[in-house]
Amino acid sequence: MKRTQLYMDESLFQLLTLVSLEKKTTISDLVRKAIEKVYGRRAHGKDRVKLLQAAFGIWQHRKDLPDTDTYVRALRKDTRSTRLGI
């Protein structure tokens, strides 16, 4: 688990304090649960597949990017050149 620090106004802090006392839990736990509820863990199971399917092809009509083959070949060429000291 990672530790972080949040800044909030006094009224929000008071609200969280009251709710934590009512539910007999910590403010940290309330914040974690609220974040989970709003943002969820999007990388699980069917949700992950749905997200991947929704993202498939989203850049296909971009004009500012080279085609995939050109891009990959350029990356490989740069890597080989660097490795060989060219």
Q: Which residue segment(s) compose the domain that 80 sits in?
A: 10-41+56-84
Please give the model's pTM, rounded to 2 decimal places. Answer: 0.48
Per-residue confidence (pLDDT) for residue 66, from 0 to 100: 79
Is 1 a domain residue? no
Is 48 a domain residue? no
Q: Cα angle vertex 54, ends 48, 57, to 5°?
A: 125
Is 49 a domain residue? no
Is 72 a domain residue? yes
How far apart CA 73 and CA 66 sit, in angstroms, is 11
Is 2 a domain residue? no
What dihedral do alpha carbons 20, 25, 31, 32 form, nearest 10°? Answer: -170
Per-residue pLDDT of the chain (86 residues; tens, 9 = 90+): 889 999 999 999 999 999 999 999 999 999 999 998 888 765 566 677 888 888 888 888 888 877 888 888 888 886 655 555 55
Is 33 a domain residue? yes
- Name the one residue in this structure whose structure tokens are 């709710």: 19
Output the CA–CA distances (angstroms, integers) from residue 43 to 32, 39, 40, 49, 51, in the order listed.
17, 11, 9, 8, 8
- Paired tokens of 71: 């891009």
How many domains, in total, are found in the chain?
A: 1
Half-sphere exposure of 72 (CA within 13 A, CB side): 3
Is 16 a domain residue? yes
